[in-house]
Structures are given as C-alpha cells and as structure tokens.
C-alpha cells in the first residue's frame, strides 16, 4: 500500500501529521514522551493504569464543526498536561456527525457526535501525571452543553 493511500485513511507518521496540521491550520502540536517512565497511578494505596472518564454532552453546540472539535480536543488535552501524538477526525457528511480520536502518550480522547440530537459522547482516558478532570472545563466552554454527564472508572487496577 502506498503512503498516499495511508494518508487518505488518516494514517501518518508523527512528522507527517505535524506537516499536515501546519498546512491545514489545525490546532494540535505533537510532543514526545519517555518510554522508560512508569505511567501507572497510585491513589489511596491503589495502583492502576489510568482514569477513564465517560462524558455525555446533551444540548451541545459546534458538533459538526471539524476545526472547532479538533481545537477543543487539543486544548482539553493540553489543559490536562497530556502529550499529543496524533489527531484523526472523520466528518461523515458536510453537516453530519464527526468521530475521531486524539492519541496521547498518556492514552487518548475520543469523540462521537450526533449534531441532529445535539449530543456528543467522549472517552477521556489518561495515565501518568495527567488528570482527565482538567479537560472538563475546556470541553464545557467549547461545546456549551445544557447537560454534562460524567462517569469515571479506574482502569487496570493492580491486584
């Protein structure tokens, strides 16, 4: 498969993704991370891989605006202190929903939107020193939901 075919699928190397964002005016920048660091978290004597927030936004706006969503996700990741490695968003139709993922050194933020219902579902999973709760004010400001429902799970609990 040629590189052009891979880029059509949204698969790029870190440097190619950076070049693409520079050309398109995208909001994300790539970073680096330490492969030798233990990114597991310890809270109240319990060690686990990371915190996973499940966020439902009802009555939200800008859910069919690709550039707005990219900026919101990148701003949210940076607010949490995360290292952005790659962003891929897919717009299903010009005025339709958007699905995508922001790949982080510390895990990911994913989004799926249903603009016709003013609804978005986000997964925010982070490990290491990042706090996924720090993304919430950014997401609330960006999408202005009437209601924000949040679930939380500790993933990868060490027994």
Residue 107 annotated in active site:
yes
Query: pLDDT of 108-141, one tens digit each?
Result: 999 999 999 999 999 999 998 999 999 999 999 9
Q: Map out the domains of the chain with their CATH numbers.
A: 3-155 (3.60.90.10)
Give catalytic status of residue 2 as yes or no: no
> How far is Cα 126 from Cα 155, in angstroms, rounded to an integer?
10
Q: Spot the catalytic one: 74, 87, 127, 130.
A: 127
CA pair distance 62, 141, nearest whole angstrom: 11
Query: How many CB atoms lie under 10 A from the CB of residue 4?
Result: 7
Catalytic residue among 52, 107, 108, 130: 107
What is the structure's pLDDT at 16? 40
**How far is the C-alpha of 91 from the C-alpha of 138, rounded, in Å?**
22
The pLDDT assigned to 43 comes to 86
Residue 14 CA to residue 32 CA, distance in Å, equals 10
> pLDDT tens track of the chain, all 159 residues?
333 433 343 433 334 434 333 333 444 545 554 555 577 888 888 899 999 999 999 999 999 999 999 999 999 999 999 999 999 999 998 889 999 999 999 999 999 999 999 999 999 999 989 999 999 999 999 999 999 999 999 999 998
Residue-level pLDDT at 146:
99
Catalytic site includes residue 74: no
pLDDT recorded at residue 32: 53
Q: What is the pLDDT of residue 11?
A: 38
pLDDT of residue 84: 97
């Amino acid at each position: 498969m040629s590189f052009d075919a891979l880029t059509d699928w949204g698969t790029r190397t870190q440097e190619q993704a950076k070049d693409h964002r520079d050309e398109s005016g995208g909001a994300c920048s790539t970073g680096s991370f330490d492969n030798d660091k233990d990114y597991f978290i310890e809270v109240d004597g319990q060690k686990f891989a990371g915190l996973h927030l499940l966020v439902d936004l009802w009555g939200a706006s800008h859910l069919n605006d690709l550039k707005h969503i990219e900026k919101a996700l990148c701003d949210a990741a940076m607010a949490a202190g995360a290292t952005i490695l790659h962003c891929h968003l897919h717009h299903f139709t010009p005025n339709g929903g958007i699905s995508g993922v922001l790949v982080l050194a510390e895990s990911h933020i994913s989004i799926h939107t249903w603009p016709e219902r003013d609804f978005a579902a986000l997964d925010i999973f982070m490990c290491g020193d990042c706090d996924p709760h720090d993304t919430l004010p950014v997401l609330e400001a960006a999408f202005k939901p009437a209601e924000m429902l949040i679930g939380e799970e500790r993933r990868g609990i060490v027994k």
